[in-house]
Amino acid sequence: FSIESRLRDALSQGGLSLAYQPLIHLQTGEITGFEALARWNDAELGNVPPTEFIAVAEESGLITSLGRWAAYEAAQAMSRWDAKYGQPLPVSVNVNLSAIQIARDDVESMFEEALRYAGIAGQRMTAELTESAIVADPDKARKWLFALKDLDMSIAMDDFGTGFSNLASLHTLPIDILKIDRSFVSSMLEDRDKAVIVRTILSLAESLNLKVTAEGIENQALALQLQNLGCWQGQGYYFAKPMNEADAFDYWRARW
C-alpha cells in the first residue's frame, strides 16, 4: 500500500525514468533501435526492480498512467536525440505494453498523441506486447493492433515461447517481430532442447514472414551462433546493458 502511494507520487512528480537497451542488427552490427525499460529510484526504497513496481502498478490500476508516461517519454527522448544530432536518428524505440494496461486504456490514441506531441514518425516506434495481451480479448486485439499499423508502428511479441500461443493469430494479426525469450537464448549453446526451440521459432518466423529478435545474448559465441542461424536482431548484455538517455545517445553516436 505504501509502495503504491509512493509510486503514485513518483508518477506525478517525474520520479520514474526510462533506460534504453540497444537492439543490434546481427548481420551488419548496426544499432536499429532501443528497448525502453522503466526505472524507479525512490529516495526511501532505493532502486525498486521493474518486475516489482510494474506488478504494483497493474494491481492498483496505476499501469494506465505508467504506460502513458512511458509512451510519451520514449517519443520525447527520440525527439531530444534528434535535436542533439541535428536530424532524425535512424533508430526506433520499443515500448512495453502490459496486458492489463491494454484492457483498460485506449492504446491507439495514446500512441497517436505521444507521437504527435513529440513530432516523431510512427515507423520509429514499436509496441512490445505479450501473448496474454492477445489471448485475453482477440477481437479487441485485432482492432487496436491494426490501428497501430495505421500509425506505421511495428508490433513485437515479447517473451515469445513462454506463454500460450495461438499460432494462427501470428498469421492473422499484424505482428511484425517475435522476440525469443532469453530463457531459451542464453543457454542454447549448452542445452540442446533450448537450441531446438530457438531453431523452431526461427523457422516458424521464416514461414510466416516475421522478423526475429533474440533476447539475452550474453556472449560473443551466442551472437555468432544466432547470426549464423540467420536471426535478424539481437539484444543482451554482450552488446550493452540498459542505459540512461544520454549514454544511449553517446553509444549510438560512437558507433554510427
3-state percent helix, strand, coil for the chain, nearest multiple of 5: 50, 20, 30
Asked if 22 touches ligand G (CB under 6 A), the answer is: no
Asked if 237 touches ligand G (CB under 6 A), the answer is: yes
Q: Name which of 95 and 120 has its Cβ closer to ligand G.
A: 95
Q: Name which of 113 and 159 has its Cβ closer to Na ion.
A: 159
Say how far apart CA 42 and CA 14 lie, in whole Å. Answer: 11
Asked if 218 touches ligand G (CB under 6 A), the answer is: yes
Kindly compute the dihedral angle of the four CA atoms of residues 28, 218, 16, 249, in this order, to the nearest 10 degrees: -30
Q: For residue 42, give every residue at least 6 positions away whose Cβ sits within 8 Å of its Cβ, in sequence order, or none.
A: 6, 10, 15, 48
In whole angstroms, how close is the CB of 168 to ligand G at the nearest point?
A: 24
Contact 208, 169 (CB under 8 A): no
24 to 149, 169, 224, 236, 238: CA distances (angstroms):
23, 27, 12, 9, 11
State the binding string over 171-210 for ligand G (x if CB under 6 A, else -): -----------x----------------------------
In the three-class reduction of DSSP (H, G, I as helix; E, B as strand; rest coil), residue 256 is classed as coil
Asked if 251 touches ligand G (CB under 6 A), the answer is: no
Say how far apart CA 242 and CA 12 lie, in whole Å. Answer: 24
State the binding string over 56-85 for ligand G (x if CB under 6 A, else -): -----------x--x---------------
Asked if 158 touches Na ion (CB under 5 A), the answer is: yes
In whole angstroms, how close is the CB of 86 to ligand G at the nearest point?
A: 29
Residues found near ligand G in the complex (CB under 6 A): 21, 37-38, 50-51, 54, 67, 70, 96-98, 158-159, 182, 215-218, 235-237, 242
